[in-house]
Chains A and B, each alone.
Chain A
């Protein structure tokens, strides 16, 4: 257990966080990170992969939940398995590739061999070494499965706690928004990537930023407007945008030009007619209403704790072609001061090939390791992490109260005409970040017993 949990310090930190005054140290503090591992990540639904990454029997990708490595594999019957990547015998990683196709995984150390559903299939010299099943019964032995696994729209999540709420139930109202990113047709998305890179930044900063920091866009991302990568000016698109909180997630939605129909609005952001027709047929009336009646389209979002989404529509060539893209990204903590970013390009699998190509280019220009938005974000986040590690940062409470009066009332009422579920506000505010931090606080406060295996 971390030292912090045993001191009077933690309640004070969480009390400050809950009133929107964030102790700067939480963005670079080894004790806080130890608590996050024990209390937050040990009990959270964590994204691992999408089913489209492992379409055929034997296809696998290796992904981590912090330091725990899992093989996410489609077995011979087509079932997706999430297997702890550690041999039952001496603990060697049984799979050291990042992806591939295999009917079996053979440990390099002593050649214990496992079927791709995890079952132990072979132990060399079983009779000579163990006296057969009497010394070691192979029957019933399997690579440890993740304690809980569930999927939504093909997104595969695992939980290190064996008894979490069902994923769909836990997603609650956020499912409405998650569909808009991951279910533009009955077929759903395909994921490409991920690009992976490591940044010297605390993992929470990216998660909070994507949750609803529309306030940073006009300034941090001024350069992409300067060069005409977007038709709209960042400030207007954001100031008139919406921020919503729904279930364990929250996000922002960009304001579309006034008065367009569903078809016109989605044409404006670059979707081809055939995709728009499919979206209209796939989304519920309430989901379509966000575009058609409220005039908003989803932008960035974060599903607690560390999975984020982004949707935008840059100009991708000299001719002025506009193409929308979707990215899914994970802020995978390495330590309190380092994060591995996994950034995928997501596109509707049923989309026409020329659209996929354009959307991919749009993604690369804006987000990912070389994206012109992402570059400037990371510069900020590394700098914050640097500053948060010092002794002065322990005296500083960062003001995260935007949108609240001194009496904790919203400076303007929630939107009345917003079609999505949850609570939405128009304009700038830090409602979403506070919502994210409130969940974070609840996790850190929970007793170890409540989240233990």
Chain B
């Protein structure tokens, strides 16, 4: 399947959706972020592994860093709004750089969107910043309320993550 041309309005809407989503995450508006999710959201991030070229797989089939539905994502967000979520208090300064967006018309109401994500995360005043590079494949749904995220698969480009935890969303 060929990606939609950049001039296509659906591509532009999808790209804007991803940029607006990144703005919510980087400003710490996680409740706002939850509103972008469909009720049947699946949010997964398989563990990447180093395998021989001929092995036919480069992530673990049955283990992820995330395998979330709306319940577990809500719990994660609720947690960040408690007074005891030390992992993000003080909060990290994050920047979600989103690029390489390719949009594919999947059905009348759904788009597949691939994007590249580079997350910069700075904690404290003197720690070296963390970088997390990943590819994302999203299913975006066109609903009455606007565009919503129905599926996201995050494929990290590292096998061993170099950030102290995933208390952040990708």
Contact = CB atoms under 8 A, between A and B. Distances in A.
Interface of A: 96-100, 102, 192-201, 219-224, 226-227, 229, 316-318, 340, 345, 360-361, 364-365, 368-372, 374-376, 378-380, 382
A227 B82 contact: yes
Contacts of B165: 197, 199, 369-371, 374-375, 378-379
Most chain B CB within a 10 A radius of its CB, from A99, A370, A375: A370
A199 B162 CA distance: 7
A36 to B, nearest CB: 21
A195 B67 CA distance: 13
Residue of B45, B62, B87 contacting most chain A CB atoms (<10 Å): B87
Interface in B4-54: 45, 47, 49-52
Contact of A379 (B49, B60, B164): B164
A364 B66 contact: yes
A365 B75 contact: yes
Given A100-B51, A368-B65, A369-B65, A196 B160 contact: yes
B71 A220 contact: no
B160 A376 contact: no
Contacts of B2: none
B79 A226 contact: yes
Contact of B84 (A226, A340, A369): A226
Interface residues of B, number: 39
A378 B74 CA distance: 22
A192 B159 contact: no
B142 to A, nearest CB: 26
Nearest to B127: A200
8 closest A-B pairs by CB: A375-B87, A370-B166, A222-B84, A197-B161, A223-B84, A375-B165, A226-B82, A196-B160
B166 A97 contact: no
Given A196-B160, A196-B161, A361-B72, 17 more contacts: A96-B50, A192-B62, A194-B47, A195-B47, A195-B63, A197-B163, A201-B164, A222-B83, A222-B84, A223-B84, A317-B69, A365-B72, A370-B66, A372-B76, A375-B166, A376-B84, A379-B165
B64 interface: yes
A389 to B, nearest CB: 12
Contacts of B127: 200
B99 interface: no
Contacts of A227: 75, 78-79, 82
Contacts of B83: 222, 226
A229 B84 CA distance: 14
Given A97-B51, A100-B51, A193-B47, A376 B86 contact: yes
Contacts of B55: 97, 100
A198 B158 CA distance: 11
Contacts of B51: 97-100
Contacts of B62: 192, 360
B79 A192 contact: no
Residue of A220, A227, A361 with most partner-chain B CB within 10 A: A227
